[in-house]
């Protein structure tokens, strides 16, 4: 084989390699990146300050489980939102409004929560201060 045929054969193999890599890359699934990445980064300091406020005020809510449901007790009356995050997907997440009124306790009925692991995110205001508390819990079967 002379050098001309070797050169053409080498170029053909290289072009075949590049074309096969292009086909492979275009057939890969799309990247599932977080579309809210930058907004979450901007809100990180606000969330961190609210979590630190819970620790500095010793305002951790007490979460207890009974047969009737989940009871959450606060140090002072609170208004906000409770989010139950299911690890199986966002479609199974539950959001409950939080308003203890003059009392310090709220109850979530057990029939609304399926058994298993849940993440609890509580955002509330109390005494003109904002708080954020996160905890993982396990809901027992009925």
What residue segments make up the domains of the chain, in order of their start?
A: 1-30, 47-139
pLDDT in tens, the chain (142 residues): 788 898 999 999 999 999 999 999 888 877 767 778 888 888 888 999 999 999 999 999 999 988 788 899 999 999 999 999 988 888 888 999 999 888 888 988 878 888 889 999 999 999 899 999 999 998 886 5
Answer whether 77's CB lies under 8 Å from 124's CB: no
Listed residue (82, 68, 63, 75) closest to 137, CA to CA: 63
Q: What is the pLDDT of residue 72?
A: 92
**Residue 122 half-sphere exposure, CB side, CA atoms within 13 Å?**
26
In the prediction, which pLDDT does 141 show? 67
Whole-prediction pTM: 0.69
Q: CATH number of the domain at 47-139, please?
A: 2.60.40.10
Q: What are 94-98's contacts with CB under 8 Å, separation 24+?
A: 98/122, 98/124
Residue 96, CB half-sphere, CA atoms under 13 Å: how many?
19
């Amino acid at each position: 084989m002379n050098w001309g045929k070797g050169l053409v054969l080498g170029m053909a193999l290289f072009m075949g390699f590049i074309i096969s890599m292009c086909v492979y890359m275009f057939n890969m699934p799309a990247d599932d990146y977080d579309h809210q990445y930058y907004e979450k980064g901007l809100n990180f300091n606000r969330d961190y300050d609210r979590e630190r406020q819970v620790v500095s005020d010793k305002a951790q809510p007490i979460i207890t489980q009974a047969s009737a449901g989940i009871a959450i007790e606060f140090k002072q009356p609170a208004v906000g939102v409770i989010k139950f995050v299911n690890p199986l997907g966002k479609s199974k997440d539950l959001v409950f409004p939080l308003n203890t009124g003059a009392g310090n306790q709220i109850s979530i009925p057990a029939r609304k929560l399926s058994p298993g692991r849940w993440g609890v995110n509580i955002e509330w205001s109390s005494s003109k201060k904002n708080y954020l508390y996160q905890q993982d819990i396990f809901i027992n079967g009925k």
